[in-house]
Every structure is written in structure tokens, then in C-alpha cells.
Amino acid sequence: MSRSLNPIASVLFMAWLFASLLYDRNIEVGVATLALAVYTSSIRRLYLVYVWVAIPSLLMVWVLLDFETALMTAYRVLVIVMGTSSALLGVKPLELAWLLSRPPMPPIVGFIVPIILRIADFMLQSVYEVIAAMRGRGVTGRLRLLVRAPIPLVVFAFNTSLYLAETMHFKYPSRSRTWTERPRFKAVDYSIVLGVLVHLIFLILL
């Protein structure tokens, strides 16, 4: 990941995001969130997710209330999802592991980060394998695939739990944290921290 964020800057941005929405600073939050989404490339990678989140919110609230309320609700939901996903995608997993494994936290806390990522990748590949196997046996149609997929996926999940137990037993990390990567502050991190602090002070004094 060439464009990354320091974990501290990422967490600070998310805290600022919710605080600013609480103060109804919708324009500032929208501009900052869009800029971060472009920087981390999440807008290119997750644009379908953003559309999937915004449109149902708009339609559901529009049916129950009015269009103006629906538009604002969809906008705020989109900003929250886009902002948090951009902030999290910008963090390198090994830098987050370094931060989470600092004393007094046990090393296993940081070690969970790469394990979760590996399990997520394994489960995603498992879904593809299950679908391919069922189609190879003549199972067609989305409904039939959804009905029959849970049983083999449970088997995959059970195997995954065994792999996780073996990994944590044989590869328990030491206090040296040599397998992690020390996060460093870059220009974008300083910009986020400075911008957040200035804006929060402005909101407090307003």
C-alpha cells in the first residue's frame, strides 16, 4: 500500500468524523471524507459498497418520511461508511499490530491483526471454492447455491479454527515485536492531526 496512514492519525480522523457529525458540520466532513477516500483509493475500490449503502438508506427513509430527510440521512450514512473505511484501509496491518502490541498489552493482541486478515482471505477463497464445487456438481441458480452453501462453509470454518489454534500455539509472538512495522508520521498524517485539532478547537469555541 503506497498511500498509508499512521494508525494514530486514522483513529483521530474517525473520532473527529463522529464528533463533527454530532455538531452537524456536514459540509466539512463530506469534503474531508472525500479527500481521504481519494487518497487511500477506497473510492475506487469500494464505490459499489458506497452505492449499496446510500441508495437503500435514501429509499427507505423517503418512503417513511420525506425526500429532504432521506437525502440527508443517506448522505450522513455514506459519509460515515466512506470515512471509516478510508481511515481503516489506509492503515498498514503490521503498523497497527505494532501499536496494539506495545506494553502493557500482551504481544498476542497485535498478533491478532494479521491472523484476522489471513482468516478473512481464507474464508473468501473458501466461498469461491464451495460455489465452484457445487456448480461442478450441477447445482445452479443463486437460491440453490445459497441454500446448500452453509454446510460446506461450516466445515471450512471448523478447519479454520483449527489452523488458528495451531498458529497461536506454535507461533506465539515474543516481546521483541520484530515481525511488526513501526509506524511513522508522514506529511499527510501531520495534516490530518493538525486539521482535526484546529477544527475541534473551532467547534468547542463556537
Q: What pLDDT, in 10s, does the model give residues 93-106?
A: 777 777 777 677 66
* 32-36, 51-55, 94-98: segment of lowest average pLDDT: 94-98
Q: What is the predicted pLDDT for the residue at 204?
A: 79
What is the pTM for the complete model shown? 0.66
Arithmetic mean of pLDDT over the chain: 78
> Which of 57 and 3 is assigned the larger pLDDT?
57
Tens digits of residue pLDDT in 116-154: 666 656 666 666 777 777 777 777 776 666 666 666 666
Mean per-residue pLDDT, 51-75: 89
- Tell me: pLDDT of 79 over 90: yes
How far apart CA 88 and CA 119 sit, in angstroms, is 18
**Cβ(7)–Cβ(77) under 8 Å?**
no
The band of 77, judged by pLDDT with boundaries at 50, 70 and 90, is: very high
Cβ neighbors of 78 (< 8 A, separation 6 or more) are 50, 53, 54, 57
How far apart CA 181 and CA 131 sit, in angstroms, is 37
Burial of 76 (0-12, 13-18, 19+ CB in 10 A): middle
What cell was used for 58? 435514501
How far apart CA 117 and CA 185 sit, in angstroms, is 24
How far apart CA 194 and CA 4 sit, in angstroms, is 17
Q: What is the predicted pLDDT for the residue at 90?
A: 83
Mean per-residue pLDDT, 50-70: 88
Mean per-residue pLDDT, 45-60: 85
> Which of 150 and 62 is assigned the larger pLDDT?
62
How far apart CA 62 and CA 69 sit, in angstroms, is 7
Q: What is the predicted pLDDT for the residue at 56?
A: 86
Cβ neighbors of 93 (< 8 A, separation 6 or more) are 113, 114, 117
- Tell me: pLDDT of 1 over 50: no
The band of 167, judged by pLDDT with boundaries at 50, 70 and 90, is: low
How far apart CA 121 and CA 64 sit, in angstroms, is 39
Please give the helix or strand (H or E) that residue 150 lies within, else none: helix 150-170
